[in-house]
């Protein structure tokens, strides 16, 4: 789950810079997470609220439609945590039961039987066509008797932690960490006998931090997002190289970032848009320190960038400045990708959205 303050600030900035449409007033949120094109928040009373793209049912409101305003999920359940992915959302109830809603084509829903619903899909030639996907527009329980304390939804899989730190995953084969390439619609135990205290899922890989602050990742390793010094896919957890002690490791779309116990930020993976924050565009298969030497208290990577809240109370962002994803920070660099020039920042820049957010929160 991403930090509530980071996502709230970026959501506010997006709303304020949008040329049309109303600015939505969000109820007090205890947690918030962003998927590909939707967000879900959790109120202090355990109510899940979602908005954005909803044609796959990922808003949980009982219908397969987009929603510009904040809408409560169609359920009487009380949730303790929520996680949003590309076309999927998942949450844990106060009793630790796992529920998911949205698309479940690869079993990431934790269900073997879902209704097929039509949804717009972009074909290889760029045309929009309608295909049918197994989806649920309301929360349905993951098929397991296990109780969890953390849950992380990915694009094609979902992972969760039990109270004793045991990781389980379900969904697309090769991403589940169980040492196999078999798809599973029910939770399977992650191999290696490791006990984790934190877990986070990206599009097609997952990372966790053990009780001893060691980082491990598994899943697809292109482009070198697992941090083990290779680009080899891993069906079971592999240690992140460098021997660093982490408090959190969070996968982005094309890279991964972690926060050490001393508050230093490190990133690895693809770096075409400066998303590693290292002051250059050289990709790396092992952790590289984010430039500037700042001490961070929170860190959240996106598809091609990252933002973090520093010890000085300010938020800094780096990477591709696509639709102002630097949150108003100055894109000081230009990055080249496939012959095209893009606005970017290869080092952390002050996020103006955070300044506005802090000012409005007083």
Over residues 303-310, mean pLDDT = 89
Q: Dig out the tokens for 31 from the structure.
A: 């947690």
User: What is the DSSP secondary-structure string of 250-310?
Assistant: EE-SSEEEEEETTS-EEEEE--TTSTT-SSS---EEEEEEPTT---EEEEEE-SSEEEEEE
pLDDT greater at residue 226 or residue 14: 226
Partners of residue 38 on adjacent β-strands: 52
d(CA 57, CA 309): 32
Q: What is the DSSP letter of 330?
A: -
Percent of the chain exceeding pLDDT 70 equals 81
Extents of the domains making up the chain: 4-257
* Cα-Cα-Cα-Cα dihedral sign, residues 181, 182, 188, 191: negative
At 17, the pLDDT band (50, 70, 90 cuts) reads very low
Residue pLDDT, tens place only, 200-218: 999 899 999 999 999 999 9
Residue pLDDT, tens place only, 103-162: 988 999 898 776 666 555 556 666 655 666 788 999 999 999 999 999 999 999 999 999
Residue pLDDT, tens place only, 218-247: 999 989 999 999 999 999 999 999 999 999
At 35, the pLDDT band (50, 70, 90 cuts) reads confident
- CATH assignment, 4-257: 2.130.10.30
**Exposure string over 119-143, b if 16+ CB within 10 A, otherwise e:** beeeeeeeeeeeeebbbbbebbebe
Alpha-carbon distances of 85 from 103, 128, 142, 201, rounded to whole Å = 10, 22, 16, 9
Q: 74 in helix, strand or coil?
A: coil
d(CA 305, CA 68): 25
Residue pLDDT, tens place only, 153-203: 999 999 999 999 999 999 999 999 999 999 999 999 999 999 999 999 998
Percent of the chain exceeding pLDDT 90 equals 60
pLDDT greater at residue 330 or residue 206: 206
Dihedral of CA atoms 216, 33, 295, 167 in degrees, nearest 10, equals: -20
- The single residue listed with the structure tokens 């899943």 is 219
- Quick check: pTM over 0.75? yes
> Residue 354 CB: number of other CB atoms within 10 A?
26
Phi, psi of 12 (to 5 degrees): -60, -45
């Amino acid at each position: 789950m991403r930090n509530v303050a980071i996502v709230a600030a970026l959501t506010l900035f997006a709303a304020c810079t949008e040329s049309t449409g109303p600015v939505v007033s969000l109820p007090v949120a205890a947690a918030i997470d962003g998927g590909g094109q939707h967000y879900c928040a959790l109120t202090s009373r355990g109510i899940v609220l979602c908005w954005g793209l909803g044609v796959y049912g990922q808003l949980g409101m009982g219908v397969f439609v987009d929603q510009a305003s904040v809408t409560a999920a169609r359920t009487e359940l009380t949730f303790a945590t929520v996680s949003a992915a590309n076309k999927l959302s998942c949450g844990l109830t106060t009793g630790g039961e796992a529920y998911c809603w949205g698309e479940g084509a690869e079993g990431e829903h934790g269900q073997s039987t879902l209704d097929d619903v039509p949804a717009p899909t972009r074909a290889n030639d760029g045309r929009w066509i309608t295909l049918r996907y197994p989806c649920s527009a309301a929360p349905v329980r993951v098929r397991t008797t296990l109780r969890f304390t953390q849950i992380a939804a990915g694009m094609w899989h979902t992972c969760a932690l039990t109270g004793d730190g045991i990781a389980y995953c379900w969904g697309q084969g090769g991403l589940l960490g169980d040492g196999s390439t078999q798809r599973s619609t029910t939770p399977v135990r992650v191999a290696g006998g490791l006990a984790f205290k934190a877990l986070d899922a990206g599009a097609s890989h997952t990372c966790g931090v053990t009780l001893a602050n060691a980082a491990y990742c598994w899943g697809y390793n292109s482009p070198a997002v697992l941090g083990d010094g290779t680009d080899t896919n891993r069906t079971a957890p592999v240690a992140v190289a460098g021997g660093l002690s982490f408090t959190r490791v969070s996968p982005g779309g094309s890279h991964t970032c972690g926060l050490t116990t001393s508050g230093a930020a490190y990133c690895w993976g693809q770096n075409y848009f400066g998303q590693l924050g290292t002051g250059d565009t050289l990709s790396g298969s092992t952790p590289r320190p984010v430039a500037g030497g700042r001490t961070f208290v929170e860190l959240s990577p996106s598809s091609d960038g990252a933002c973090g809240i520093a010890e000085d109370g300010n938020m800094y962002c780096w990477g591709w400045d696509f639709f102002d994803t630097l949150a108003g920070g100055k894109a000081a660099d230009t990055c080249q990708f496939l012959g095209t020039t893009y606005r970017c920042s290869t080092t952390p820049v002050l996020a103006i959205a955070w300044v506005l957010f802090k000012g409005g929160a007083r």
